[in-house]
Structure formats: C-alpha cells, structure tokens
C-alpha cells in the first residue's frame, strides 16, 4: 500500500485520503492547521472538508 505515499503530493482535490487541512493556493495538504502555508506562504490554509 505504498501508492498513497507517492500520490498524495501530486493528487488534486482528493480530500478524503489527504491531510485534514489544505492550502487553497498550492493544494498541499497538512496534518496540522498552519496560520500560513509553509510551502507557498499563502494565508489560505483551510480544512479540506470545507473546500471539497
């Protein structure tokens, strides 16, 4: 079951298998809620369920 490990950084909007939080700018997902995205510095990190 190594498929998800490789796919999660490139998959788009498959919210259920990803972290609970997602950056709306770069679509990276996270296990914790960041005030700003550590990847692209956007202030649009939301719960993935809110943007499905």
CB distance 45 to 35 below 8 Å: yes
Q: Within positions 2 to 21, which residues make up the interface with Zn ion, using CB under 5 A?
A: none
Q: Which of 15, 20, 25, 30 binds Zn ion (CB under 5 A)?
A: 25
Beta strands per DSSP E along the chain: 21-23, 29-30, 45-47
Least spacing, CB of residue 10 vs Zn ion, in Å: 14
Q: Which of 40, 49, 50, 52 binds Zn ion (CB under 5 A)?
A: 40
Task: Specify the length of the chain in residues.
Answer: 52
> Which residues sit at the interface with Zn ion, rule CB under 5 A?
23, 25-26, 37, 39-40, 42
């Amino acid at each position: 079951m190594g498929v998800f490990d490789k796919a999660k950084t490139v998959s788009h909007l498959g919210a259920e298998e990803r972290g609970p939080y997602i950056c709306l700018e770069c679509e990276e997902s996270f296990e914790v809620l960041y005030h700003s995205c550590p990847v692209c510095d956007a202030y649009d990190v939301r719960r993935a369920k809110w943007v499905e």
